[in-house]
Structure 1
């Protein structure tokens, strides 16, 4: 398994090996140590791994590590989120969360902003069907599964905790779309708020932005 080729390969050959699951992935110390405090400490320690230039990462799955390396090497990234009718499915949200957790474990800063962009893109596309007569420009969310509501709550909180945030416009659009069918405990907005209350470690800025968007929605009525 390998990650996407970048100009770094033209400068020097790999000088370390990452052991991830059953995979052995060659990499460059000058790329990893410059951006990861974890790798910097591991490769400068007096351990057997540092001496042999082989770093074991049992906590991370190979496919996730490849995504992390793509980011470290500045290779083109693709969104881990599904599109269309499967947007914010359990699989796609877990994939993004794993990638962000790997960045956090390896003490790599800055990736959250790129994944925030992927999230905003998905929010903009979700259910925005121009042929839907009920579409008022906010997005009808016709393909938005109610069962995925808690997934949006979770991934938003994870991204905010990584240090990024989505724009006020995107948050307002999300809240307006959630409120479109706000009738009863099974409505999207009710599910959203209930899932937010159950977050084990809620981010304060995240809650502030949601609250401001809800207040703006109420004021517009």
Structure 2
């Protein structure tokens, strides 16, 4: 179901237009303004946008705007993350980050919690879901690999979640660190890459850094 099929949309005719890049969306002031400070300011002040009832937003791609509108109109959401062993691929994480950043740009509160749940669900699968690439011994004594690029992808995505005001559970963080640190050859190259990725974050969130540090300390103490 898209936002245009929801009761909020069909209740009354649309009265404003949003133009994201080159795509126009006909939407409702009574839905957007109460949930977004950006739209509230644009539509309820003496501006050209308020007079013309048209807001142009070049910073957000049309497909991302559709995701935002789906949340605002309470359409059922699906995870932007891929499933299985590509959940934290570069393209998958980029889609999620775009959506989170769009909600931040539009000053929409509440949406991040739902997207955080999608991330938490994928983290909880690490080391348990046989469809996910993780350090798990199979019947032949070989080990599946946790893709080396995923360490920095996950670090960036989790930091984005924390910056938005949300957190993930200590259990999910512990599972992540345990999965990354496991290496059949007895070294810690993946864990080192992850720690380096965290250190190189351009705008690290203090709570994220704290939770990761505590998980690393707990891991070392358990060994």
Query: What is the alpha-carbon distance in structure 2 between the residues aligned to residue 141 and residue 158 of structure 1?
Result: 31
CA deviation after TM superposition for structure 1 residue 127, in Å: 5.1
1:39-50 to structure 2, matched below 5 A, reads 39-50=39-50
Query: What is the alpha-carbon distance in structure 1 between the residues aligned to residue 118 and residue 129 of structure 2?
Result: 19
- Give the 4+ runs in structure 1 shifted more than 6 A: none
- The answer as to whether partners of 1:79 and 1:115 remain within 8 angstroms in 2 is yes
Q: Which runs of 5+ in 2 are unaligned?
A: none
CA deviation after TM superposition for structure 1 residue 166, in Å: 0.5
The correspondence for 2:160, drawn from 126, 137, 158, is: 158
Q: Which runs of 5+ in 1 are unaligned?
A: none
CA deviation after TM superposition for structure 1 residue 216, in Å: 1.7
Query: What is the alpha-carbon distance in structure 1 between the residues aligned to residue 10 and residue 148 of structure 2?
Result: 48
CA deviation after TM superposition for structure 1 residue 141, in Å: 8.8
Query: What is the alpha-carbon distance in structure 1 between the residues aligned to residue 206 and residue 219 of structure 2?
Result: 20
Tell whether 2:137 aligns with 1:134. yes
SS in 2 for 1:77: coil
Query: What is the alpha-carbon distance in structure 2 between the residues aligned to residue 120 and residue 47 of structure 1?
Result: 41
The correspondence for 2:197, drawn from 168, 180, 195, is: 195
What is the CA RMSD across the aligned residues, in angstroms?
2.1
Q: How many residues align?
A: 214
The correspondence for 1:171, drawn from 153, 170, 173, is: 173
SS in 1 for 2:81: coil
Query: What is the alpha-carbon distance in structure 2 between the residues aligned to residue 141 and residue 179 of structure 1?
Result: 14
Partner of 1:23: 23
CA deviation after TM superposition for structure 1 residue 61, in Å: 0.3
Partner of 1:77: 77
SS in 1 for 2:88: coil
Q: What do residues 126-148 of structure 1 show as CA deviations (whole Å, max 9, x unaligned)? A: 4534599638xxxx993531112
Partner of 1:116: 116
Query: What is the alpha-carbon distance in structure 2 between the residues aligned to residue 206 and residue 97 of structure 1?
Result: 16
Q: What do residues 13-66 of structure 1 show as CA deviations (whole Å, max 9, x unaligned)? A: 111111112211011101100010000000012222211111101111000000
Partner of 2:206: 204
Please report the TM-score for the alignment, with normalisation by the length of structure 1.
0.90
Query: What is the alpha-carbon distance in structure 1 between the residues aligned to residue 64 and residue 145 of structure 2?
Result: 28
SS in 1 for 2:203: coil
